[in-house]
Structure 1
Amino acid sequence: MSLIDPADTPERQNEKLAKIAESLMRRVEHQTAESGAAYAQFERAALLEQRVRERTSDLEHTLDLLHESNARLAQATEDAEAARRNLADAIGTLSEGFALFDPSDVMVMCNARFCQDFRDTATDLSPGLPFEGYVRQISRSRALALAGHQSPEAWVVERMRRHHDRHVMFNVELTGQRWLQVSEHRTGNNGTVVVQTDVTDIVQMERLERERLKDSQARMIRATLDHLNQGVAIFDSAGRLVGWNAKVSTLLAISARLFRIGSRFETLLSRLSADFTFTGSSSRASLAQWATCCGAGGPIRFEVRRSSGQTLDVFGQGMPDGGFVISVTDVTQEREAAQRLAEMNEALESRVMERTLELEDALAAAERANASKTRFVAAASHDLLQPLSAAKLFMDSLHSRLASPGDRDVLAKAESALSSAESLIEALLDISKLDSERLHFDIRPVALREILGPLRDEMEVLAARKGLDLRIVDSSLIVETDPAYLRRVIQNLISNAVRYTGEGRVLVGVRRKGLGARIEVHDTGPGIAEEDQSAIFEEFRRLDARASRNDGLGLGLAIVERACARLGHPIGLISAPGRGSCFMVTVPVAGVGTAPDGRRSSGLAGPVRLGQAGIVVLLVENDPSLRRALTLLMESWGASVIEAEDAEGAFALLDDLALVPDAAVLDQQIGTGATGLELACTLRDRWGPVPAAIVTADRSDNVRRRCGDLGLPRLLKPIDRSALGAFLREVAGG
């Protein structure tokens, strides 16, 4: 393109060139002044162009995504529409009516079977219908069978109340003996699904089955009533008879023609014979009043009697439906048996009272006889000892006048006989005193050396005559006892040891044993067999049959046992044939303890302590001698002893006395096939935990283990009196 037109004149061309040159000069000048601002605008334009290209690229990407999302949305819409069509097709094939309501209780969809029984009023069942509107349309339908005088509005209120529950299922009765089951369930978004199912066949089958069951139950009830030994009559809330059996007519002597469905209770009561007499506070009026209230005041029970002697027990009870039932039982035989038992009881009580009085008289007579015997023995002993003493003095005076050795020998034997008689009388006097209830002891602290010292001087002479070594070890202990009786006990034990020891020695010593002092008398005599260790404490019992009267009268150990029992000093024995014997007496040490009342206590059983507790002890022992010895010992402690030879006799005694023992002392080998352990278990089974101790000579582990398993103390023969006393004190409470 040329800036100058060639057709112009030269002048015109020069003029144009001059103007062009001028313009160019001005433009150059202007560009030189604004070159910095122009460059900045150029950079900004370039940056904006870059941003525009980026935004355009982002917009194109966004448009691509939008197109893709629109395509997916269209596909999802198409899938949802397909699913909706499939759901509609599926619910359309259901045999039940189906409807779906959204969380705002607006219908979303339903199938053709929904409310098909209510088409006369439910004409607008389409999406958008409120739930309450659907309910109101149904309430006006002629197909709905309303109960009683219920109005459609009341039905709507009840139906809407059920709609508020999360899960609802109920039956709706339709006209024409048809039923519809309606169930509602909440969906995850709090919508509601309503399902209507025709259950007419099921309800009719249930009603038929219920009727059959009622008929079967009625037959069973009728058979049961007919087989009862009682008379039964059932009345409804209006007092009308609805059920009965033939027995009630027979017992009440009312004609069976009056017992029919609908008979009034008052009518039946009025037909009750006049010879029926009501007992106690009951009467015909009170029974009629109770029936009028249908038993609301609670059950009623009374007896009526006829002039013939028949007694009837009448019981009335209200029922949940407002009716009541009356039962009548013939109790004539029971009342007659009770009367006979009462008469027999009175007769037995009279006999028991007579026997008790007889026993009390016999006991009083025995006590008087025993007291008389004691007084007689004491008086006779005193009267006999005086002439014996005089005879001995006369013989002493004859001794110097007789010159013949033969006469002197006869005189010596006579003196010996008199000495034996004197010893026998003194022993009888001691036993009589120990058996007396009036005996009192002088219990006080006494030093053992005061007793042992004089005995040493006295008994050493007797031991020396037999060539025995008698040794009495001194003791510094002070004990609480009656010094006179303790001296007699130790003297008898030492004398007995010297008498029956042929050779060797006799040792007397004292051992400290807990809270007591145990006085021991050891000898090297022949020893005593285990089966004889209880018998030696009996009166006039000597194991050596060859011994003469001068060698002892058999009363020494009996006196020892009685004295120790009354003093509360346990006595023990350890012996074996050929190995000598050891007799032991345990005496409480003085000052070792103080009782709560301020008296000193040794921790051992004092004399006659168990009597304060009044315990009753059952003793079962087949050995008469041992049984007698144990009875005497425990009775001396104040216990009441019921003794028996075997288990059968023990239970017979306890049943006769109607008594439960406080404790039992049982021999392991009773001798009748049973054992003491078995008897202890039987006692526990009958009367509970009766404390029992097993007496046995069996030292085997089997008996020890069985006693331990049953928690029963084992008393080994010869019986340790301290162990027996501890057992009884524990039973008596200390």
Structure 2
Amino acid sequence: MIDPNDPLDVQVEKQTKIIDALIRRTGRQHDVGHSAYAAFQSAIALQGQVWAKTLDLERASNELELVRYDRERTQKNLTDALSAMEGGFALFNDGTLQVCNDLFRTLLPDITELILPGLAMADYFLAMEKSTHLVGADAKLHVNLAEAQTGPSGASLLSFVVALSDDRWFQISQQRTSLDNVIILQTEITDVVRQNRSEKDHLIDMQAHYLQAAFDNMSSGICTFSRAGMVMMHNDRFRELLGLPFTLMHQGTQFTQILGFIQNNGLLVDSDITDIDRWPYRLRTEGQLRKRLRHGGGRVLDLQAHLLPDRGFLVDIKDVTLESRATEMLEKRVDERTSELTEANVRLTAQSEAQARVEEELRIAKEAAEAAVSSKTRFLAAASHDLLQPVNAAKLLISTLVDMSRTTAMAPTVDRLDGSFSSIESLLHALLDISRLESTESALSVTEVCLGSLMQGIIEDHAPVAAKKGVRLDVVPCSLWVKSDQRYLMRSVQNLVVNAIQYTENGRVLVGCRRKGANVVLQVWDTGMGISHKDQKRIFDEFTRADNVPPGSGMGLGLSIVDRTCRHLGHTVSVRSKPGVGSVFSIEMEMVPGRAPMPVSHSTAQASFDNDMNLIVLVVENDPYVLFATTQKLETWGASVLAAKSTEEALTLVRDIGMAPDIILADYQLDGDDTGVQAIRLVREETGSHVPAIVITADRGPALVQIGARNDFTVLTKPVQLSRLRPLIDWKTREQAEV
């Protein structure tokens, strides 16, 4: 009659009903029989049954009490566990609050009284949105709070970050359980946010150190002054050449104070500084100043000052003592030889010997000059690698930081950091390009260049920037070939395209080519602010910009590099412009006759990289900062990274995983005699597989490209352009998979 599987309270209820029925039965004597003995016998039997059922009832009541005690103890243990949690915790059942800990209730003090069992989850997030302790409530946070009111769909996890008024940061996470309950966790991430903020400030400081290091390694004396005429940055060479004391050269020193010290202490010959008081005025009105000075210590100095775009100025001092002495010596020799020619024939032999000595001295001087130029070229190659290594690491780290902070309140600050670093990178490339062009013309390597692929690559690199600004960027397909240096021609066209996008607020930028007899003219059209006729004659000078350009729009070096490069290559640069209408910059080059046209694609399929990069990537890089930054960036793309500092370490990692990586990214210059080319070759031999590979280097010469063609790897120059690296990895790995 009683099912032992029923709950205890149901069993007790059934037993009570049975006992009541038995008692009623004893009261009805006619059911027992007509005899007294039968009635007595029936009563005794019924009484035994009543006792048995009463014992069952008491036992069931005791078990029910034990169950209630266990439930209360479990509830107390759950409450203690929630109180011991470091973050806030709450459990919602059917959209209403069941249980939570104290931190969850007190996170926002002005809504603590509302957080009670039975509170609807939608009402909780509405109250959170209106809390005065919540700061930085942007549109993204409102969207997250609105989504959180209904909870995550299915088994997905909903997570977002909120900022509190006392500079505390919490991550709010929602997770739906298997019983369709919703758990809300509040995890404090204040330390992580503050650490990221500190690392960002440290990174900005490091960029200033890198720029100062570049100044310190220059042979010239460099000093920059603010618009108010105060020292901003200088190198020790500037102070040494002028003989200035340490106490005078520091940030905040006025330019007039330096001129006064020079004048009062007689550091320069008086005849050279008769108009020293007018130097600041001439610099402001003429935009530049150039002086040949004689130092009291016997040195001859060449001083050049240029006005910067922010109305500050840069002073460049070079020691030209040897050049000046050589000139004076040659002039003296000419006078001596002229005097000797008027003498008698008896001195012809002596004159011939003197001439031979002069020629020998000139030969020695020429060899010394050639050695100096060669030394400068080697220095630039080493400096390029040493400067571009930290720039490459910083660029990768900033890109990772941009991805990580995209949905946080730090996103605007990180975007400004990215823009500031891009300006530093552009300035560094400009300075290195100018130095290379000044060092020797042998840096140029004239070959046959296809204009179609060159223009298409530049357009693809700058299309995101143009789209972000709302400028339409187009290219007219071209299959012509020209004679030029591909690297420097690409830099020149890049500078023209960047300027066109920068000075076009809305409208269009168009890149295309026209035939002109045996030549071809590459043109960059824009619908920007235009350039006045008087400014068109001077915009190709260094540190010069048009008058209608707003402050802070660059250093005025891009067009100067274009002009220098084209003069070295024998190209012709020209500009046509009208203020308010737009500009056309043209580069005229010699066309290669008889070269078969290269197929031109009128549309470029854009690859989608929304999915994770499901690849094993072997990275070989001896610089720990670049290695760390590259690893971080690849992992944000979803790749599994094997990070190695040398070829030997790379081989060890490959042996450990027992399989070939999907692709190799290797720096060319490793420690000692180790190179990225050697790493690629040995990994391929170790795995018995032709692994796709990319070599990343600061070496911009053609020799490494030729080695890459022979060994089937691609060469990318530092700093790496992420817009090219990701598509290149996808293309090379997809090509290998298809094989």
- TM-score scaled by structure 2? 0.30
Higher relative contact order, structure no. (Cα contacts within 8 Å, ≥ 6 residues apart): 2
Q: Which of 1 and 2 has greater Rg?
A: 1
- TM-score scaled by structure 1? 0.30
